[in-house]
Amino acid sequence: CSESDLGPISLNWFEELSAEAPS
Amino acid sequence: DVVEQLTPVPLDDLREESLQLVSKLKDCSSSCAVDVSAVWWEAAGCRELCVVTASESSVSLWKPLPAACWGRVYTWLFGEIPVIQIVPLPDTCNLVCIALGELEIGEIRLLLYSSENDSFKQSLVKTGNIKAVLGLKGRRLVSSSRTVQEQQVEIVSLSEAGRSKDGQTLMPPEETVLAFAEVEGMRDALVGTTAVNSVVVWNLKTGQLLRKMHIGYSYPASICHRAYSDAGLLFVVLSHPHAKESESCGNAAFRVIAFNPTTARSAAVTFSSLPPGHAGRQVPRGPRAGFVILGYLEGDVKDASAAAVLTSGAIAVWDLLLGCCVALLPPDPAGTWALARWATTTACLLAGQRDGTVCLYRY
């Protein structure tokens, strides 16, 4: 899988999505 | 992309010898075996890997004895509602859950040994129209249940004595959740697959629904088995027991899909096809007419290994990273296989027959 297929990859996706998602 | 460059393993190279029969267990009282599982059980200070077998009306605990024999320790009996599934709780001792119901799960019960009064007990954990249930690390149980108006996704924590502690609710997606998988390498993450073919991700600590990612209609009726987090990607092992055979889908029983949770884009990593001669058959009538049942009845995934019973009566084992079938257990002369479960590791495979016979294979 390359970044061109999947878009920009973030190692901190879990923390970033947790900060954005409604709680 | 990776798997397409690999040379498929010829059927002749699939060695039954890679599965070595260690011992056999026969539940003579069982009319029809519905599930089997391995569970750690401690008695008199000795912790052993025991086997749990379930029939529609009873669940039995078996402990290893000398000379590769098994002895029944205890049998829990049940009334009108049939047992349909064993729900193991990973990393626990002296506890196992079971699901009871007709077409779908109506209640979940906990089976345990209580040292307080030196007795085997059972207790009711949850009732409802339960669509999916999974035992999580840390003596927790996650389930999705549905009322007419809404869906509830709930985690129940169990004490060592088996009592239900405070529950936690996870934010439900609009569509029904049909399967769950813990995310290895990320303790607070949980994934699920839904009735409209999406993978959803939760934060277990906060209960937030973090992301919904569509799998694509070329992979219909996907069920998640395992998930792994690595290098910013979420790798999810999916199976497609009722997939329609097509150019894009082939006869894959399992796929590993890489999701980028940041963008919700995905890409196929490997697909594990049915071995030659075990492909599916077309369904001639009924609502699924025209569909191909892929010859995959039910199975289990642990680490990077999958095992499944095929409609041909054989059990196949796949290496999900290589995307190939690595062992094949032909139908036993005494009867075809009905159940395939990994014990606590992939070193041991539990292969069950409907008459209650369970064979333990070293893999």
Angle at B236 between CA B232 and CA B242, to 5 degrees: 155
Give the single-character DSSP code of B80.
Answer: S
pLDDT of residue B3: 31
| Inter-chain residue contact B265 with A23, CB threshold 8 Å | no
Containing A19, the helix (H) or strand (E) segment is: helix A13-20
Collapsed DSSP state (helix, strand, coil) of residue B171: coil
Residue of B nearest to A6 (CA): B265
ipTM: 0.92
pLDDT, residue B281, reads 52
Q: Give the integer Cα–Cα distance in Å for B307 and B327.
A: 9
3-state secondary structure of B106: strand
What residues of chain A lie within 8 A of the CB of B184, using their CB? none
High-pLDDT (> 90) share of chain A, %: 70
Altogether, the residues listed in chain B come to a count of: 363
Q: How many CB atoms lie within 10 A of CB B184?
A: 15
Tokens describing residue B61: 């605990």
Q: Are A8 and B262 in contact (CB under 8 A)?
A: yes
Task: Flag if A14 and B261 touch (Cβ within 8 Å).
Answer: yes
pLDDT at B4: 32
A8 vs chain B: nearest CA distance in angstroms? Answer: 7
Q: Which residues of chain B have a Cβ shorter than 8 Å from any chain A Cβ?
A: 1, 171, 186, 188-189, 201, 203, 206-211, 229, 231-233, 258, 260-263, 265-267, 269
What pLDDT, on a 0 to 100 scale, did the predictor assign at position B10?
43
Q: What is the pLDDT of residue B299?
A: 86
Contact list in B for residue A5 (CB cut-off 8 A) is: 265, 267
- B67 CB-near residues (< 8 Å, 6+ apart): none
Mean pLDDT calculated for residue range A8-20: 96
A5 interfacial to chain B (CB closer than 8 Å): yes
Cβ–Cβ below 8 Å for B232 and A10? yes
**pLDDT given for residue B56 in this prediction:** 92
Whether B130 and B106 have beta carbons less than 8 Å apart is answered as: yes
Per-residue pLDDT, B241: 67
Q: How far apart are CA B170 and CA B5, in angstroms?
A: 41
For the beta sheet containing B46-55, the strands, ordered from the edge strand earlier in sequence to the opposite edge, are B33-43, B46-55, B58-65, B69-77
Q: State the Cα–Cα distance between residues B306 and B342, nearest whole angstrom.
A: 8
Beta carbons within 10 angstroms of residue B163's beta carbon: 12
In terms of residues, how long is chain A?
Answer: 23
DSSP one-letter string for B213-274: EE--TTS-S-EEEEEEEETTEEEEEEE-TTPPP-TTTTTEEEEEEEEETTTTEEEEEEEEEP
B1 vs B320: CA distance, rounded Å:
14
Tokens of B191: 């994934």
pLDDT at A18: 97
Query: Between chains, do A7 and B229 touch, taking CB under 8 Å as contact?
Result: no
C-alpha distance from residue B279 to each of B67, B297, B298, B313 (Å): 39, 12, 15, 12
Maximum pairwise Cα distance, chain B? 60
Q: For residues B352 and B36, what is the distance between their CA atoms, to the nearest angstrom?
A: 7
pLDDT for the residue B286: 52
Question: Amino acid identity, residue B159?
Answer: S
Q: What is the pLDDT of residues B81-99, one digit of tens each?
A: 999 999 999 989 999 999 9
- Among candidates B171, B210, B258 on the partner chain, residue whose Cβ is nearest the Cβ of A17: B210
How buried is B308 (Cβ within 10 angstroms: 0-12 exposed, 13-18 middle, 19+ buried)?
A: buried
Tell if the CB–CB gap between B211 and A17 is shorter than 8 Å: yes
Q: Is A1 on the interface with B (CB under 8 A)?
A: yes
- Mean pLDDT computed over every residue of chain B: 85
Is A9–B258 a contact, with Cβ atoms under 8 angstroms apart? no
Both tokens assigned to B185: 């390498």
DSSP-assigned beta bridge partners for residue B144: B132, B153
Residue A9 to residue B260, Cβ atoms within 8 A: yes
B266 interaction partners in chain A (CB closer than 8 Å): 6
Contacts of A11 in chain B (CB under 8 A): 231-232
Q: What is the pLDDT of residue B277?
A: 66
A10 contacts in chain B (CB < 8 Å): 232, 262
What's the token pair of residue B19? 């599965």
Report the gap between the CA of A21 and the closest CA in chain B (Å).
Answer: 6
Element (H, E) at A5: helix A3-6
CB B221 within 8 A of CB B177: no
CB contact under 8 A, A6 and B208: no
Residue B198 exposed, middle or buried by CB count within 10 Å (0-12, 13-18, 19+): buried
A19–chain B Cβ distance below 8 A for any pair: no
Mean pLDDT of residues grouped by 10 in chain B (363 residues)?
35 61 84 90 86 94 89 93 95 94 94 86 94 95 92 93 82 95 94 94 97 81 91 92 51 88 94 72 50 63 91 88 90 82 88 90 90
